[in-house]
Structure 1
């Protein structure tokens, strides 16, 4: 019986001269085929809903068509297979397209059954790529704060709570954890969100310039002061001032800042007029300020003014599965930096990222993933691409586990080969349908509470429970 076309098994065939016998075979296998003889036609066909796979023959096309082909081949939900005739040469540009964008490459003549098998595999891998995108379902706060772990959910809740007050907020956390993003999120959730958000890194400005940056100066206040300059505090009037790395602020500037926090007024350097400024102050540091107070490097009275509300930023190593979610989020954001399509991360890369301690936190993760995107030559980022190969665990696998893995792999391959037609897959494995059903349940590939499995003949595994075929394994 000829299978009916499935709208979820739509296939594009891109070729100047399509192989009619091949197309007849894939249609007989249940594919709904759309033929495109031009690059614009292929691009339009790729935009149709539920296209699952594609065949492409580059023979007869010119480099002017390749821009449109890249758009088609780069579609994340379509698994592409390139075909060519024996002895047909491919240009360097065509080889790059095949290597970077196609799932597989086959040379004719080849049995139509083999091509159908490759198409089914390409379709399955594209579907896995489409579904397995942790960044798609990540809980996202403001300004790309991504996380689903308990620590991040607690942070999001704290941000919402402290945003509705005018009290000073102190954000404590290691370098690279995203303290400025947290400060910006607090500002964006507050009644001051329409007013300026002004940030200054107290550790990046020379000590003799910090006061003039904070408070501004009048013309003639010192040599080179040719005109009046508004300081950061005054520029943030009505909004939020973020003082990053407050622990590196010199004592002289600490005194002036404390006076402003107490009085709500500033004086520009070289000026004699007190200016009232309405600013909410958020500060942050990676320094242990309590230890700095004991050492005499930071004023205790200033600390208590700044730390009315405290927010603790969790380090990346304490965020569990968020590491993988963030990695996918970063890949999705910067994947255009690569010259070819990158689908995700290898299993060993995910394992290595989870085992690494991330001393540079999120900033280090961003840098490693961005570098890997540019430097990799594969479709999946590996531990070597991330420079984390030394963090890949080498596990000793038992013989029983290897048998189980081989059995599961054989079942998956047979099901994929026959497009999940249970009867045909069981026949290839030389077992009964009931045995196949039982093994799928044992390997966690199917819930025993699910409805019975139907094969292409309309029979189901439930019937086999009564009439077991004679392989002796049911």
Structure 2
């Protein structure tokens, strides 16, 4: 049976800490290979990391760093010197991190544990990729309308070309992420990771570290070096969702990464090659954002090599019924409910609704109606497509306050969604596509809505 443990390579220049590191690695359930600079053995395959044991030979370690055939694996140096200049020189020379023993023993243990965790995640991702390829392929893009089939055919053609950057545009909820996954799992990078990040979900001061990684000590709280999403997506695909909201000051760094296929971690001096296909998705018209000065023109053209636009649900004639049928079947199974038939009245209501929230709104409406209706049924009134039960005065009060400052309009929209979901803030946040804490922050601006304690 193949050994599926994460593997490290020990390169020994000094025996000072050899037994210590071996014991730590064994405690972490790591497999160990050994390599010596003077030997003629080949470099081990599938290496998670290299540990260069200097222990008083830090100068020799610095000379050896450039010669190690690491195949892109991280290199950690173990020494005895606590001189920060030694650490800085090693990091500049290409080391991922430097640990001085015995003081950094706990940090070494955490780093070894993290290697085990990352290998487990990688293997799980590989297994998931094999299983997911059939379920998230182009068959998962449900619809027979000419509008959606045209986009799918374009996506199938571009999926074969693994280094082409793709920009996927479309309104919120149209299924841009579903299309991106289908492209990944039907292309040459299908065996590699599919990594997704929503640019609106990460605070501006952390998104650079999230994308490119950081070195230990690069900012408060950076107690260990961390790989960024570009490195985690190596050999696969990185989807930058809601790219239109990427801070303008970070767009230049992203452009450089796309053009050079190299990244530099926050606080680091070493550039790292990354083999990643980048896809970007946005509900914002980037060309208009460029005209407004909110998005770099050069980055827009770099991303817009191939552009796919996912049509809104209102333009997909006949697809509402197909999607509704699939959602009813899948969600009833998920919730352990009998699968109901859709009545002519329900189908008529679904066809007549404009679906401003697109496929996501339809799915949420079906799920809500399933769980609120008696088992085995789906009641029209539980779809909440028309709120005729709201008194006229309340309905007028719930209208968005035009004209008004943007923040007032957003606050009113959030409050209206909470009202629509009858006070269920988690459901309101999901339907708005924001986190519950962000929804609560908007509500807390309203003196009539107390903040959760």
Match for 2:147 among 143, 146, 151?
151
State how far apart, in whole Å, the 2-side matches of 1:170 and 1:343 are.
Answer: 38
Q: Provide Cα deviations, 1:211-241, integer angstroms capped at 9, x if missing partner.
A: 0000000011111100000000111111111
Query: 2:244 aligned with 1:265, yes or no?
Result: no
Query: 2:361 aligned with 1:364, yes or no?
Result: yes
SS of the counterpart of 1:381? coil
How far does residue 368 in structure 1 lie from its aligned partner after superposition?
Answer: 0.6
How far does residue 377 in structure 1 lie from its aligned partner after superposition?
Answer: 2.2
Query: 2:384 aligned with 1:387, yes or no?
Result: yes
Change (3 A) 1:380 1:214: same
SS of the counterpart of 1:237? coil
Change (3 A) 1:367 1:234: same
Equivalent position of 1:142 in the other structure: 138
Q: Is the 8 A contact 2:137 2:181 kept in 1?
A: no
Q: Is the 8 A contact 1:320 1:354 kept in 2?
A: no
Unaligned 5+ runs, structure 2: 1-134, 389-453
Aligned Cα root-mean-square deviation (Å) = 1.9
Equivalent position of 2:294 in the other structure: 297
Q: Is the 8 A contact 1:346 1:380 kept in 2?
A: no
Equivalent position of 1:96 in the other structure: none
Match for 2:370 among 368, 373, 379?
373
Q: Provide Cα deviations, 1:72-107, integer angstroms capped at 9, x if missing partner.
A: xxxxxxxxxxxxxxxxxxxxxxxxxxxxxxxxxxxx
Query: 2:159 aligned with 1:163, yes or no?
Result: yes
How far does residue 344 in structure 1 lie from its aligned partner after superposition?
Answer: 1.5
Paired residues, what number?
253
Equivalent position of 2:223 in the other structure: 226
TM-score by length of 1: 0.51
Change (3 A) 1:311 1:146: same
Q: Is the 8 A contact 1:143 1:181 kept in 2?
A: no
Change (3 A) 1:386 1:309: same
Unaligned 5+ runs, structure 1: 1-138, 392-474
How far does residue 357 in structure 1 lie from its aligned partner after superposition?
Answer: 0.7
State how far apart, in whole Å, the 2-side matches of 1:380 and 1:278 are.
Answer: 50
Residues 231-242 of structure 1 correspond to what in structure 2 (within 5 A)?
231-242=228-239
Change (3 A) 1:337 1:384: farther
Match for 1:313 among 290, 310, 326?
310
Equivalent position of 1:215 in the other structure: 212
Equivalent position of 1:328 in the other structure: 325
How far does residue 373 in structure 1 lie from its aligned partner after superposition?
Answer: 0.6
How far does residue 296 in structure 1 lie from its aligned partner after superposition?
Answer: 0.8
Change (3 A) 1:343 1:233: same
SS of the counterpart of 1:311? strand
State how far apart, in whole Å, the 2-side matches of 1:256 and 1:192 are.
Answer: 24
How far does residue 163 in structure 1 lie from its aligned partner after superposition?
Answer: 0.5
Q: Is the 8 A contact 2:231 2:274 kept in 1?
A: yes
How far does residue 381 in structure 1 lie from its aligned partner after superposition?
Answer: 2.1
TM-score by length of 2: 0.54
Larger radius of gyration: 1
